[in-house]
Amino acid sequence: MDGVEILGLVAATFTTGAFVPQVYKTWKEKSTKDISLTMYTILLLGALMWAVYGFSIQSLPIIIANLATAVLLLIMIILKIKY
């Protein structure tokens, strides 16, 4: 793994990790009143497409970041539907 891939993994950690506080807050407060289902659905589709792209070019940072992001987005969508 070279320096560029390490940079990609660090960047992926930050961008994916940005969703964690929102997931936690939503789960804790059990309120999704101000969350847009449409936005999260579009983001989920985009993350899944990025993951497919990552697999096609064999880019570990893109694959990991977007699969992890997709999981967090899916959790948010489930919470939005539930609450």
Residues 46-59: pLDDT tens digits? 999 999 999 999 99
Q: Name the phi and psi angles at 36, rounded to 5.
A: -90, 115
Rounded average pLDDT over 55-64: 95
Give the CATH number, domain containing residue 45: 1.20.1280.290
Domain that holds residue 69: 3-82
32: which 2 tokens? Answer: 């999704």
Residues 6+ apart with CB under 8 A from 50: 62, 65, 66
Give the tens place of pLDDT for each residue, 19-56: 999 999 999 999 999 999 999 999 999 999 999 999 99
Report the mean per-residue pLDDT for the chain.
Answer: 95
Amino acid identity of residue 82, one-letter, is: K
- CA–CA distance, 76 with 55 (Å, rounded to integer): 24
pLDDT at 1 (0 to 100): 82
> What would the mean pLDDT of 52-81 be, rounded to a whole number?
96
Tally the domains of the chain: 1
CA 61 to chain centre: 13
